Copies of this chain bind each other. A is one copy, B any other.
Amino acid sequence: MIRVGIFGVTGYAGYELARWLQRHPKASLVWAVSESAAGKRLAEVVPGPLDLTLLAANQVDWQTVDVIFTGLPHGVAAKTVAEARQNGVKAIDLSADLRLDSPAAYTRWYDHTHPHPELLNAPYGLPELNRAALVDVPTIANPGCYPTSVLLGLAPLLEQGWWQTGQTIIINAASGVSGAGRAPKQHLHFVEAHENYSPYNIGHTHRHVGEIEQELNKLANAAVNTIFAPHLLPTQRGILSTIYVPIQPELDLAQIHALYRERYANEPFVNVLDQGQLASLAHVVHTNDCAVGLTLAQPGMLIVTSAIDNLLKGASGQAIQNMNIMFGLPETTGLR
């Protein structure tokens, strides 16, 4: 039995993680930390079936766990991961703190110096692209939600070299409100977000651009330029990225569809839809799946629709998938 601790369990991703660990036959939640609610029972803070007493960070006993998950703000997360390592405990970080490859990139996108640059060597935990690097490692950088949807939607094409090198890839993305976190804010008020749909940080400014382009560059083995336009959806969860990719003009849809089907043939969590089908939130919410649809808009222009549940494949489900790999379990354990 893998013994697990969670930091930040009252956040949406932390809570989802605790909920799914209940179903995991080989892992067990030993304790959970919430700085803001330490001493309370979880059921007092989040209505629902989970009812353990929350700890403050300085109350945890590192000897009782094998791995921690950190659902903490960037900057804070790295310090907790560092402490886990000092105590010989593995860590899967759901924040952005381990994702970028260099301290400079981190500073550019997160506006402060990385507190533990030595942690940036953690492998990027997108199993479908990077599985071999995740086995038995001490730390894993759990990918961002938007990047997961984009990278799984584009990987086969870029690996194969079928996109038009040098052309801009336009990513029009939309996320449910849980992606914006649990802290109350004006624009997250029910009355403001309901019956609304609003773009934010569009262009090349959202923090996930750094992560997306870093990983796309590796897939393409070239510099990939993106435009990234996220929108806030009036849903609790789910991400859909509608991606406009300039491709080699001679490619037809059947070829591309075959490429995706083959690339993901053995991936339990990637669902390449039939030709003619488009990915939607309904395909994926409350699952760890990524659904991918392919549309040839005109010769040379492919539209990829890629959907995930931002709290599962975009956060906690993927974190459990990474834990399974890290500890040598079958990858789907506890994720159905």
Contacts and interface: CB of A to CB of B under 8 A. Distances in A.
Interface string A180-218: 001011101111111111111011100000000000000
Contacts of A233: 197, 233-234
A274 to B, nearest CB: 8
A97 interface: no
A289 interface: yes
A12 to B, nearest CB: 7
18 contacts: A22-B336, A44-B274, A48-B283, A168-B301, A170-B244, A174-B197, A188-B190, A190-B192, A194-B194, A195-B237, A195-B282, A198-B240, A198-B280, A198-B281, A199-B242, A202-B278, A231-B242, A286-B286
A174 B172 CA distance: 11
Contact of A194 (B49, B236, B279, B291): B236
Interface string A8-29: 0000100000000011010000
A40 to B, nearest CB: 12
Contacts of A25: 25
B202 A295 contact: yes
A255 interface: no
A297 B48 contact: no
Interface string A297-336: 1100101010000000000000000000000000000001
A144 B143 CA distance: 41
A165 interface: no
Chain A interface extent, by class: 35 or more
A135 interface: no
Contact of A177 (B190, B199, B240): B190
A242 B227 contact: no
A195 B284 CA distance: 11
B280 A202 contact: no
A240 B298 contact: no
A10 B269 CA distance: 22
A203 B170 CA distance: 14
Interface in A121-151: none
A166 interface: no
Contact of A278 (B186, B199, B293): B199
A23 B195 contact: no
A287 B184 contact: no
A233 B237 CA distance: 14
Given A227-B303, A280-B197, A184 B188 contact: yes
A225 B299 CA distance: 13
A296 B204 CA distance: 9
A194 B194 CA distance: 8
